[in-house]
């Protein structure tokens, strides 16, 4: 006989976590070794029986199907009688992720445990990176339901997801399972989710099938025999072959399909209750708001969240600062999204508060004024912008310490941008003062101010200075993605003004996906469209793309929005470049509607001369002159 | 898992009852004595019912036949049952007199005796049996009054199934057990034909309670062995453990394994099938033979054939 000097050992086939989570896999590896020699093979049934008894003592359950298979192969000793399996005989792992080991090709089940928490987190071996991808998916599901949930803030919930297997894994294929684990926990472990898995993953608003469906589901059936719920794609034949191994099968092809299935079970109701936020909730939603606004620049979602937070209200234990943060966010977000009229209205209320509240400060007053001035900038009321900020500029030159450094930066930059647009001499100076502060106070924020400075040089016809600043931005080690997008726009604009063509590959690959920030891409595509020698069709396509990007963040028309105006400008340009008479008439009429005299809008004064020069037929030169007037380009 | 919880509970209950009774010296005064009226036995039956069997009396014409009545702690009782008073038996116990039957004395091995009932309790059972006899229902299995409770009917169905199984077994089991070898007298050393004991790699280094327990379970060798050198060549090895006995045969390549017959739950003879190992040196008998009333009876197809019984 050729037996090894060592008997095949449980440690040789798996560590403790693997035995706990994938016992059938481990046992089959041991059996593979046992059947290699007469000695191990002869006593295999007895050993297997002892092993199963031992696992049973540790409350590790094995599926009847695995036992039956081993019995059929003569591997199971007589100590284990096989009877008709009932639902109580099956393991109940909860919601399970399915992972493929890319090196050896083994497939394992990963029972997922969710716990309510004060912040989103996941064991580092799980593929939820960052863990808030699950929050995003949960919010997407709730949004897809289109329920009247104006006062509901599902973002208040946070969970920690635990990994039972402990093998590092990556990729988005487990996200749906992760959300199901959360839903299971939030709903008190309903029986439907006692043995659930999903072989779909989100792709925008759609759900698509994950990779390696068959081996993944084989692993599920191997470990559990059958499950309570399979979530699979409508057109996934591989998964459909496993339907009979599950009590229920949800066939889905979109996030809304999935959301409807969950809602029919009442699983999502717990997330859309409209009750005031307590301190813990407020911390969680505050973190999400900052992430959406400052990190992801998903302003529309951030505004939606802020509005729902305000409608939901706070319990008395929530600090005032968080409430103020939400209020200020709403004003800023309306402005970021281009709703200048609404932003101005809210900013004026803030100015009033900052002037009259006992608990005010110079800093609060300066910030409120900057917010108002910025809203007025978008309304093309540059005189008023300068009128509000110039006194602060002078006062801060004399007494810089009366407000915080970053407040000074905001005053200087907003004033500088208005001066650039007006063609004032000395427009550069406020930016230089900002840069001095940022160098000491917040070097990571330098690129934003450098972008404003570069734009000033470009608009004032100083290409060499612009070139130098653009180089500094490019070389900044920690340039944020929004600043990088603006950098690409300025580079394209610089090339355009120099009579050249230039494009950026990463910008070219961008597509107008819902939820992302759009205007930097709109600026970029209009600049590349207007570059010399661009074919009419290419230019037209770029203008149309720019128009789509401008409308991306602000599809609603309930308030005046500068991005709607910019989108119409792009349609006008497309008509001019393509010589499309109908589109020309249509877009001219739209622009006329937007720049008509109206309270609070400076557009009519600013554009009327160039607009009147457009004429009744498509005209590239006149359009070019009109676009050159736009202060953002 | 397929091993049902209910069965486990029942087996556990029987074991506990047997242990409790075995510790009552006033009742179980001599475990070696032959079956006597009042004795209680527990037999191995693959039925989901934990039953004890009460010896009631000898047959008046054949002292080798004993009348036996199943008894249990199922809480419902029918008109042909006797719920024995707690003060007499110290626990819930009901004799199912409608299922009394005659069983040969040899079917009551002393090792299966778990206790005995006091004479007063035995008298109550006999009185009920006489009463039933007068109504000419004895042995028919019919219960005098309709017992309409479905749970009771279901239970009595299991009792009857057990009775029939026991009766069939008694009819079919060989009378001569041949050489009887108690488990304790089997060899504990691994026979040479099965190789030598090997350690489990890394078992001690796992640092995991679960893996340590698993390795320990695999390494635990509670098996006992009996080797039989066959004149026809080769060696038959019987491996016995707490669950039963398995046959392994090691022999020359040109020599087939011997015919091996064992007796099952219902006393039916059944020939094992032999499966050759991956290396071709060993053959393993299927199925694994579970203990039936604490023993496995073999007929080995040697020339001449021999009967061998291994008892726990």
pLDDT at residue B142 above 60?
no
* CA dist., res. A318 & res. B219, Å (int): 61
| pLDDT (0 to 100) of residue A1 | 38
pLDDT at residue B26 above 50?
no
Inter-chain touch B279–A52, beta carbons under 8 Å: no
Buried/exposed code over A252-288 (b: 16+ C-beta within 10 A; e: otherwise): bbbbbbbbbbbbebebbeebbeeeebeebbbbbbbbb
Contact of A618 with A579, CB cutoff 8 Å: yes
Inter-chain touch A81–B213, beta carbons under 8 Å: no
Query: How many contacts does A have with B, using Cβ atoms within 8 A?
Result: 146
Helix/strand number for chain B, H first, E second: 5, 18
Residue predicted with more confidence, B140 or A487: A487
pLDDT at residue B4 above 50?
no
| pLDDT (0 to 100) of residue A574 | 97
At B17, the pLDDT band (50, 70, 90 cuts) reads low
- Write the residue in B1, B206, B243 that is nearest to A62 by C-beta: B1
pLDDT tens digit string along B256-277?
899 999 998 888 899 999 999 9
Q: How many CB atoms lie within 10 A of CB B274?
A: 18
| pLDDT (0 to 100) of residue A577 | 97
Q: Enumerate the residues of chain A whose CB falls inside 8 A of the CB of residue B211.
A: 10-11, 15-16, 19
pLDDT at residue B139 above 70?
no
**Residue A108 zone, left/alpha/beta (φ > 0; ψ -120 to 50; rest):** beta
At A3, the pLDDT band (50, 70, 90 cuts) reads very low
Residues 6+ apart with CB under 8 A from A421: A377, A382, A459, A631
Lowest mean pLDDT of A111-120, A146-155, A508-517, name the range: A146-155
Query: Ranked by mean pLDDT, which of A1-5, A37-41, A471-475, B209-213 comes out on top?
Result: A471-475
Contact of A84 with B7, CB cutoff 8 Å: no
Arithmetic mean of pLDDT over chain A: 92
* CA dist., res. A573 & res. A528, Å (int): 12
φ, ψ at A28 (rounded to 5°): -65, -30
What is the sign, positive or negative, of the torsion defined by CA atoms of A297, A298, A300, A305? negative
At A78, the pLDDT band (50, 70, 90 cuts) reads low
| pLDDT (0 to 100) of residue A81 | 54
pLDDT at residue B203 above 50?
no
Buried/exposed code over B226-254 (b: 16+ C-beta within 10 A; e: otherwise): bbbebeeebebbbbbbebbbbbbbbbeee
Contact of A70 with A82, CB cutoff 8 Å: no
Q: Which of A437, A414, A438, A440 is nearest to A427 (CA)?
A: A414
Q: Enumerate the residues of chain B whose CB falls inside 8 A of the CB of residue A35.
A: 278
| pLDDT (0 to 100) of residue A145 | 82
| pLDDT (0 to 100) of residue B27 | 44
Inter-chain touch B214–A54, beta carbons under 8 Å: yes
Residue with tokens 């009857």: B160
Contact of A227 with A180, CB cutoff 8 Å: no
Distances (CA, A) of A32 to B13, B122, B251: 38, 57, 25
Residue predicted with more confidence, B7 or A576: A576
- Write the residue in B198, B242, B290 that is nearest to A3 by C-beta: B198
Inter-chain touch B278–A38, beta carbons under 8 Å: yes
* CA dist., res. A68 & res. A73, Å (int): 9
Q: Enumerate the residues of chain A whose CB falls inside 8 A of the CB of residue B206.
A: 10-11, 16
pLDDT tens digit string along A240-281?
999 999 999 999 999 999 999 999 999 998 898 888 999 999
Residue predicted with more confidence, B145 or B88: B88
Contact of A250 with A229, CB cutoff 8 Å: yes
pLDDT tens digit string along A115-134?
999 999 999 999 998 999 99
* CA dist., res. A22 & res. A208, Å (int): 27
At B39, the pLDDT band (50, 70, 90 cuts) reads very high
Q: Enumerate the residues of chain B whose CB falls inside 8 A of the CB of residue A54.
A: 213-214, 217
* CA dist., res. B67 & res. B56, Å (int): 5
Contact of A151 with A308, CB cutoff 8 Å: yes
Determine the 3-state secondary structure of A369 from DSSP: helix
At A2, the pLDDT band (50, 70, 90 cuts) reads very low
B289 min Cα distance to partner chain A (Å): 7
pLDDT tens digit string along A442-463?
999 999 999 999 999 999 999 9
Q: Which of B81, B73, B10 is nearest to B40 (CA)?
A: B73
Q: Enumerate the residues of chain B whose CB falls inside 8 A of the CB of residue A81.
A: 2-4, 7, 46
A230: tokens are 């399979």
ipTM of the complex: 0.71
pLDDT tens digit string along A316-375?
999 998 899 999 999 999 999 999 999 999 999 999 999 999 999 999 999 999 999 999
| pLDDT (0 to 100) of residue A257 | 95
CA angle B232, B238, B242 (to 5 degrees): 170
| pLDDT (0 to 100) of residue B28 | 46
| pLDDT (0 to 100) of residue A372 | 97
pLDDT tens digit string along A90-105?
889 999 999 998 788 8
| pLDDT (0 to 100) of residue B110 | 87
Residue predicted with more confidence, B243 or A288: A288
Inter-chain touch B202–A12, beta carbons under 8 Å: yes
| pLDDT (0 to 100) of residue B192 | 84
pLDDT at residue B147 above 80?
no
Distances (CA, A) of B171 to A245, B33, B44, B107, B266: 45, 23, 16, 9, 9
Q: Enumerate the residues of chain B whose CB falls inside 8 A of the CB of residue A38.
A: 277-282
| pLDDT (0 to 100) of residue A105 | 86
pLDDT at residue A82 above 70?
no
* CA dist., res. A426 & res. A448, Å (int): 19
| pLDDT (0 to 100) of residue A405 | 97
């Amino acid at each position: 006989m050729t037996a090894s000097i060592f008997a095949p050992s449980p440690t040789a086939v798996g560590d403790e976590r693997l035995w706990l989570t994938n016992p059938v896999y481990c046992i089959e590896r041991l059996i593979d070794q046992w059947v290699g020699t007469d000695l191990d093979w002869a006593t295999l049934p007895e050993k297997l029986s002892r092993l199963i008894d031992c696992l049973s003592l540790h409350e590790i359950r094995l599926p009847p199907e695995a036992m039956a298979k081993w019995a059929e192969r003569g591997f199971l000793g007589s100590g284990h009688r096989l009877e008709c399996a009932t639902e109580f005989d099956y393991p109940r792992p909860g919601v399970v992720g399915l992972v493929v080991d890319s090196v050896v090709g083994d497939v394992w089940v990963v029972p997922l445990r969710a716990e309510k928490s004060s912040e989103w987190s996941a064991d580092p071996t799980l593929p939820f990176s960052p863990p808030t991808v699950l929050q995003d998916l949960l919010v997407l599901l709730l949004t897809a339901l289109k329920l009247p949930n104006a006062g509901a803030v599902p973002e208040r919930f946070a969970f920690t997801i635990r990994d039972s297997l402990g093998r590092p894994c990556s990729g988005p294929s487990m996200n749906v399972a992760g959300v199901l684990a959360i839903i299971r926990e939030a709903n008190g472990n309903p029986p439907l989710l006692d043995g659930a898995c999903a072989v779909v993953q989100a792709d925008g608003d759609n759900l698509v099938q994950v990779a390696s469906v068959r081996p993944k589901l084989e692993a599920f059936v191997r470990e559990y025999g059958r499950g309570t719920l399979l979530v699979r794609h409508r057109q996934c034949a591989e998964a459909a072959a496993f339907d009979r191994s599950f009590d229920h099968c949800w066939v889905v092809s979109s996030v809304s399909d999935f959301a409807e299935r969950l809602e029919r079970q009442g699983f999502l109701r717990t997330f859309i209750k409209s009750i005031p936020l307590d301190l813990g909730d407020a911390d969680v939603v505050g973190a999400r708001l900052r992430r959406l606004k400052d990190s992801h620049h998903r302003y529309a979602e951030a505004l939606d969240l802020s509005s729902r937070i305000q409608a939901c209200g706070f319990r008395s234990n929530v600090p005032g600062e968080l409430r103020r943060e939400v209020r200020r966010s709403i004003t800023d977000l309306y402005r970021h999204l281009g709703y200048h009229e609404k932003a101005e209205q809210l900013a004026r209320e803030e100015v009033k508060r900052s002037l009259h509240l006992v608990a005010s400060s110079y800093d609060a007053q300066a910030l409120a004024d900057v917010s108002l001035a910025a809203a007025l900038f978008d309304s093309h009321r540059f005189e008023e912008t300068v009128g509000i900020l110039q006194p602060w500029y002078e006062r801060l030159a004399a007494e810089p310490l009366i407000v915080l450094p970053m407040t000074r930066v905001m005053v200087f930059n907003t004033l500088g941008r208005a001066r650039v647009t007006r063609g004032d001499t000395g427009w550069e100076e406020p930016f230089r003062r900002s840069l001095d502060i940022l160098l000491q106070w917040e070097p990571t924020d330098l690129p934003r101010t450098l972008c404003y400075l570069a734009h000033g040089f470009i608009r004032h016809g100083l290409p060499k200075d612009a070139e130098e600043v653009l180089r500094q931005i490019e070389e900044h080690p920690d340039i944020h993605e929004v600043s990088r997008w603006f950098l690409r726009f300025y580079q394209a604009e610089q090339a355009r003004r120099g009579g050249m063509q230039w494009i950026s590959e990463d910008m070219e690959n961008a597509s107008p996906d819902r939820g992302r920030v759009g205007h930097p891409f709109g600026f970029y595509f209009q600049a590349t469209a207007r570059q010399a020698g661009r074919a009419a069709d290419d230019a037209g396509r770029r203008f149309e793309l720019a128009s789509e990007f401008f409308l991306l963040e602000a599809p609603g028309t309930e308030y005046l929005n500068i991005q709607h105006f910019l989108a119409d400008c792009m349609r006008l340009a497309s008509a001019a470049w393509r010589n499309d008479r109908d589109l020309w008439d249509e877009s001219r009429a739209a622009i006329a509607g937007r720049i008509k005299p109206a309270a609070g809008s400076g557009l009519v004064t600013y554009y009327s001369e160039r607009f009147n020069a457009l004429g009744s037929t498509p005209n590239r030169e006149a359009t070019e002159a009109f676009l050159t007037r736009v202060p953002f380009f | 898992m397929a091993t049902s919880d209910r069965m486990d509970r029942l087996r556990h209950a029987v074991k506990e009852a047997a242990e409790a009774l075995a510790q009552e010296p006033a009742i179980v005064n001599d475990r070696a004595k032959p079956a006597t009226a009042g004795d209680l036995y527990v037999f191995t039956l693959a039925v989901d019912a934990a039953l004890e069997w009460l010896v009631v009396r000898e047959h008046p014409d054949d002292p080798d036949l004993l009348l036996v009545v199943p008894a249990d702690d199922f809480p419902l009782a029918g008109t042909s049952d006797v719920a024995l008073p707690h003060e007499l038996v110290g626990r819930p116990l009901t004799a199912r007199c409608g299922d009394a039957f005659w069983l040969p004395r040899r079917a009551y091995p002393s090792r299966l005796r778990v206790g005995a009932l006091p004479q007063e309790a035995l008298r109550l059972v006999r009185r009920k049996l006489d009463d039933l006899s007068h109504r000419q229902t004895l042995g028919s299995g019919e219960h005098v009054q309709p017992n309409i409770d479905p749970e009771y009917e279901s239970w009595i169905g299991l009792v009857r199934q057990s009775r029939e199984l026991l009766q069939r077994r008694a009819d079919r089991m060989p009378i001569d057990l041949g050489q009887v070898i108690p488990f304790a007298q089997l060899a504990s050393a691994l026979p040479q034909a099965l190789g030598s004991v090997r350690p489990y790699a890394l078992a001690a280094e796992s640092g995991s309670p679960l893996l340590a327990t698993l390795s320990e379970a695999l390494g635990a060798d509670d098996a006992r062995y009996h080797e039989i050198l066959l004149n026809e060549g080769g060696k038959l090895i019987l491996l016995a453990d707490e669950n039963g006995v398995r046959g392994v045969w090691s022999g020359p390549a040109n020599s087939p394994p011997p015919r091996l017959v064992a007796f099952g739950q219902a006393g039916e003879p059944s020939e094992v099938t032999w499966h050759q190992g991956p290396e071709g040196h060993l053959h393993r008998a299927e199925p694994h033979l579970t203990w039936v009333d604490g023993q496995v009876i073999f007929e080995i197809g040697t020339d001449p054939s021999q009967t061998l019984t291994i008892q726990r």
